[in-house]
Amino acid sequence: MKKISLGFFMAIATIISVSAQEKEPDKVKWDKTASFGLTLTRGNSETMLATANIQADRTGSENEISLGGTATYGEDQGQVNTKYLRGFGQYNRLFNDKLFGYLRVDALHDEIADLNIRLSFGPGVGYYFLKNDRATLTVEAGGSYVYEEQGGIDDSYATVRFAERYTRKINENTKFWQNVEIQPQVDDWENFLLMAEIGVESKITDNLSLRVVLQDTYDNVPAAGRESNDIRLISGISYTF
């Protein structure tokens, strides 16, 4: 576990450090957004749901970096019913305007699904089928090494990774995005994790926006006594800085 964790953090450090190699700093751009949502009910029911998300995307003529994290915590009548954490980092090295190689790391914790930790990292290739000021469409394929602690059982294995992401700027104030990713185990394709997200964000001011996001995590081999599918509908306010 210590070796896996060390490899994970070294991969994150690599993703961050390569940004210093950009040869054309005038073309480098960072987009950073933090969002937060809170829902409370009192009276006949006592529930609480808090969500937080941070995302940083760096674009340049040769290097691209994406870093992000999501946290969700909820209670119902004083009992925890949601406790979800996810973080990721990805570095893209552009070979031309459309083709790139990438290195990606992910970490996932879902207490309700009895998933203590799931770490994965690995390389791959991607291609921009659409890339302009208003929209992007990318497809990625690669491999990953996974370490996980689920249902009291430690396991590690290799996976293949397929991913797709689409973003669209609907107008000057509203944007839409959608992405889906699947990772089946190389020697057991019945064991796979699928994650999908769809969202829309609309500006209130130059820096503040309202956002609504629907997330779905599907584990085809969940821990004993757990459901395969987890769906989250998240609304909140985001701040761009």
pLDDT tens, residue by residue, 153-208: 999 999 999 999 999 999 999 999 999 999 999 999 999 999 999 999 999 999 99
- Residues 31-37 have a mean pLDDT of 92
Q: What is the DSSP letter of 151?
A: T
For 44, the token pair is 């006949």
The closest of 105, 185, 101 to 138, measured between CA atoms, is 101
Domain that holds residue 209: 2-240
Please report the pLDDT score of residue 4 as a whole number.
Answer: 46
- Residues 87-103 have a mean pLDDT of 95
By the 8 A CB rule, do 98 and 127 touch?
Answer: yes
pLDDT at 26 over 80: no
pLDDT at 21 over 90: no
Q: What is the DSSP letter of 74?
A: E
CA distance 92 to 142: 13
What does pLDDT average to over the chain?
A: 88
In Å, what is the CA distance from 84 to each residue of 13, 182, 212? 24, 19, 18
- Domains in the chain: how many in total? 1
The enclosing domain of 72 has a CATH number of 2.40.160.40
By the 8 A CB rule, do 91 and 65 touch?
Answer: yes
For 193, the token pair is 């994790």
CA distance 20 to 192: 36
CA angle 10, 143, 167 (to 5 degrees): 90
pTM of the model: 0.83
Give the model confidence (pLDDT) of 221-231 as tens digits: 898 888 899 88
For 39, the token pair is 């829902």
Decide which of 141 and 113 is more confident: 141
